[in-house]
Structure 1
């Protein structure tokens, strides 16, 4: 069991994409730490389910249907949070994802390989994936940022990816967007450094989630060839579990642990980035 961070009690955290596999676990843990949590996502019922689970466990949470690409929707969410909780201390930019329109079939170009080639990728699909991941981090940071600056020890945590360092095959839009997250994290960290607002990012290694399940598990529940390549390249020889991210999250949002840490992207990857393959 992770120790309680008394320093976080009664703070308020906003989590976009808060009903997802990874971010919902972050929401539950922050609530266990005494943080009041606002779960923002496009589908109200999914967020309400997580908020209800938190309440049943003795925590405090609300769910707000929000489109992270719509400023008006975000402003409405902000006003609701301030009415309910009166402040905002932490922003976790977890909204993101991929789409089949922006994924190639083959890993490398081959005229004879089945599946969508690079030249058949849909322009709108590509743009939508990039926007969801990058603009969907920029806009919430802008909308909630002014409230964060009023807090004593504000923190933003963006969610990056292994594909931000070296792009993964098949997913060019997602990889490019996540690379931009690392850069944007550093930019914001410098921009706000003298205000006390710290901005960092977590880059999860490979976790089985709803958005990548079709790439990593076949219809019978077995690992795909892609999964086997990932496991082979991960020194710990396993996929991550959502709980594996929680220590990194708490470290980054609690200034008593990380007051001099800003502009960093922290990899939680089972050694994936450290392994050269030899």
Structure 2
């Protein structure tokens, strides 16, 4: 079976699990579709009678590995995920990861039951949010007012600006410069990601990354230089992005840490609504 065929089966399994529990799984598809070792995820699967029944994905971010998985409804409580987790542990040990985070939807009863069996400590939670035009109207971010700002410009980042992206990520998200740099090892200007520089009056002031699939765009790594915050730069960049994606017929989504109330208020004021909550638990075994 080809990798492409397996990925199609993983996608079908994800859809089945999400429909069954009415939740959203974070499988980082942009990483799944890349080759392992080339910025891609490592993953393991389990079949029964040629049917894909279990999956676990491991996503490396610098010295940290995130883990997410699923088991087909009707095949749970058979030790399938426990077996996948053992395979994942062997891979993690070989990689020498300093931190391991298991990620699961907060609303998933099956995930909560399994996670209780592991030595874990709560690390953080993230909200997944989606832009709704009616909420934007209610909060005074209506279409006619989402106009380009002459002082705040968004433009594609160039490959020679990777050090700038690294510096902004490092400062904005508390990452080590090395971990931030590792995220750009496979920087390609024409890949499925769009790396965007936010400029204020011609000078770099922040950055964000866009990833689009099936007419849904996700905003990641959105940060503004700490020295320039409070001047409406982030709001202008966000509204311009919404306007652009809406013209292209794309939905707009993002993630925000639960402990970042300022960002949450900004997103809500622009019309974003919480659709899902993901819990991240640190493995301490």
TM > 0.5: no
The structure whose RCO (Cα within 8 Å, separation 6+) is larger is 2
Normalized per residue, the structure richer in helix is: 1
Output the TM-score relative to the length of structure 2.
0.27
Output the TM-score relative to the length of structure 1.
0.28
Normalized per residue, the structure richer in strand is: 2
Larger Rg: 2
